[in-house]
């Protein structure tokens, strides 16, 4: 049984008479100790998906339908009191721009202690102070910073502390929403390497949300590519990088420069993602797709096709189109 199983989830925002389908019929599974990367452009529904998993969507945000199973229990049917026991104890999250989530008028010690108290975590075997110091040690931060205020810390240090807070109560699943966006590439790489070491050491699972494909090359086990609220491709990382099938996956990979080989001018994906408040007929990537099939892609929404047991793609090209396998 998977640690987390999302089934046909639809979520979004209801604003007056308009409905924004930010997450549209998404199904995903995350196994124990798996590192799943979710990649896509800004506005494709990644953060809404993360908030849905923890039932943190607030009006006008809502979950319209679908199920979210965690350890065999359906999160969608849980009360707020039940979710309070799940959040941070079993599933934690590092929010987008999380460095700015730290309270500027509280010392780091107080903020970490608040996490333990608020989520009613009882660890009789060790004191709260020991728990805090152990979490800091995991991310290579000296206990001396417990007496610091956020403005006294560098961006990389604040990010490490936020990650330590997410691990404070030893969760089984950590959701990270663009956790390294504001950091330079050297600090990014070091934090990601440390995160991977921690995952292997402690055995937790990770959902890592990003718009930067290159961050996932070394650390992710599998990748789900998200576009216009839907998963358009999912496979083990090496398959996505070596042979992406969906034209959107290919476009994302081709938009960043390779580390080796001949230097060439990179090309981005033309156009912009569709307006999710407007009902889309056909494939949502049709207008931007270099391989589109007229009178098919623009009229019929492609099904999610399982080409192999671990590789799925949502594209007409593999369902009777030009590149159909077999």
Q: Where are the domains of the chain?
A: 4-90+171-318
Q: What is the mean pLDDT of the chain?
A: 90
* pLDDT of residue 182 exceeding 80: no
173 backbone dihedrals φ, ψ, rounded to 5°: -140, 130
DSSP 282: S
* pLDDT of residue 323 exceeding 50: no
Mean pLDDT of 171-176: 96
- Determine how many CB atoms are found less than 10 A away from the CB of residue 84: 14
Give the CA-trace dihedral at 139, 141, 142, 145, to 10 degrees: -130
Terminal-to-terminal C-alpha distance of the chain: 31
Strands of the sheet with 18-30, listed across from one edge = 18-30, 4-15, 61-70, 73-74
CATH 3.40.50.300 fits 4-90+171-318, yes or no: yes
- Taking alpha carbons only, the member of 278, 282, 306 closest to residue 296 is 282
* pLDDT of residue 124 exceeding 70: no
Q: Name the residue with higher pLDDT: 266 or 123.
A: 266
pLDDT digits (tens, 9 = 90+) for 288-297: 999 999 999 9
At 179 the pLDDT is: 86
């Amino acid at each position: 049984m998977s640690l987390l199983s999302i089934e046909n989830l639809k979520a979004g925002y209801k604003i007056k008479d308009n409905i924004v389908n930010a997450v549209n019929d998404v199904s995903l599974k995350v196994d124990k100790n798996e590192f799943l990367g979710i990649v896509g452009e800004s506005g494709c529904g990644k953060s809404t998906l993360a908030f849905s998993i923890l039932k943190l969507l607030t009006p006008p945000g809502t979950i319209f339908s679908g199920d979210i199973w965690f350890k065999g229990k359906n999160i969608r049917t849980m009360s707020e009191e039940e979710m309070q026991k799940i959040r941070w104890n079993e599933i934690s999250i590092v929010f987008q721009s999380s460095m700015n989530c730290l309270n500027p008028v509280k010392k780091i010690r107080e903020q970490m202690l608040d996490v333990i108290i608020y989520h009613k975590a009882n660890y009789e075997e060790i004191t709260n102070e020991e728990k805090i110091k152990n979490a800091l040690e995991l991310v290579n931060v000296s206990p001396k910073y417990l007496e610091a205020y956020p403005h006294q810390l560098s961006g990389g240090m604040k990010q490490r502390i936020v990650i330590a807070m997410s691990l404070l109560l030893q969760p089984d699943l950590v959701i990270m929403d663009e956790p390294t966006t504001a950091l330079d590439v050297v600090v990014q790489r070091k934090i990601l390497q440390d995160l991977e070491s921690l995952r292997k050491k402690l055995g937790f699972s990770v959902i890592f949300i990003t718009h930067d494909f290159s961050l996932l090359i070394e650390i992710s086990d599998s990748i789900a590519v998200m576009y216009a609220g839907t998963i358009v491709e999912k496979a083990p990382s090496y398959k996505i990088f070596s042979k992406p099938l969906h034209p959107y996956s290919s476009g994302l990979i081709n938009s960043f420069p390779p580390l080796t080989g001949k230097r060439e001018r990179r090309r981005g994906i033309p156009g912009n993602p569709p307006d999710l408040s407007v009902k889309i007929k056909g494939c949502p990537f049709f207008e931007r797709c270099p391989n589109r099939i007229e009178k098919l892609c623009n009229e019929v929404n492609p099904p999610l096709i399982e080409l192999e047991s671990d590789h799925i793609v949502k594209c007409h090209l593999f369902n009777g189109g030009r590149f159909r396998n077999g």
